Amino acid sequence: MSAINEAFDNVKAIILSAHESTTSWEKVKFYNSWAENYDQDVAVLDYRAPSLAANSISCHFGSAREAALVLDVACGTGLVAKQSASDAQMKKHGFGHFVGIDGSEAMLDMARESGLYQDLKQSLLGEDPLPAHWADMFDVVVIVGALSMGQVPVGVVRDLCKASKSGGYICMTTRSNRDNLEYKASLESELRRMEEEGLWTCVEVTEVNDWERAVSEQEDGYISGVVYLYKKL
């Protein structure tokens, strides 16, 4: 077995083990244990969602980026904010002020080491409300990777909209693989409902075929995913 295949099999086993976690505490414990190796492991998966979300925001955000305040929800180790040589994340696009929130304190420690975040808060999405003083505060709200089956509930998107300023952007991603189709349908139904309620308007929806390498036993190659970009009214 090649080193590349062995690395992928190891990461696949780690991710599949996460599905065994059912309670919120078990999930937090899993991510705490994964934090130190998280960045290198998702690189093995060719995980493109952070750069795809950053690119979507950058294409439409026309204000002064350095002064813009970005809320990175389920920020993990900070992949959405980080600047790397190969991917154009938000720092590389000119954004400089980040606030992060995540359920895992170990993940937040890794994000803290990046030096990119002015504030980091530990909170369980879907169980703990966002701080009340965050309402109408952020120029950009982004959530990457957490809107999926077994992660955070669909209703969290209302909190994201509430945290954005009027005219601010909310960027969300989800997977389109077989195991997530029911969740994705519920998510899109909620996004449309909020648009009908006059809370925001859809800017673009980007379907991406090569989202990341598949880890499910029922799927091979790459799975697809979606980037949603909305603007608060």
Cross-sheet strand order for the sheet of 69-73: 117-122, 97-102, 69-73, 138-143, 164-175, 222-232, 200-213
- Average pLDDT over the chain, rounded to an integer: 92
pLDDT at 86 over 60: no
Domain boundaries, the chain: 48-232
- The two three-digit tokens of residue 183, written as one number: 């969740």
pLDDT at 33: 95
- Average of per-residue pLDDT across 225-229: 98
pLDDT at 2: 61
| Range from 91-105, 107-121, 211-225 carrying the lowest mean pLDDT | 211-225
pLDDT at 15: 85
- Fold that domain 48-232 belongs to in CATH: Rossmann fold (3.40.50)
Model pTM?
Answer: 0.94
| Other beta carbons less than 10 A from residue 167's beta carbon | 10
Predicted confidence (pLDDT) per residue in 112-165, tens digit: 999 999 999 999 999 998 999 999 999 999 999 999 998 999 999 999 999 999
pLDDT at 83: 63
pLDDT at 85 over 50: no
- Which residues pair with residue 169 across a beta bridge? 140, 231
Nearest to residue 161, comparing CAs of 81, 53, 57, 233? Answer: 233
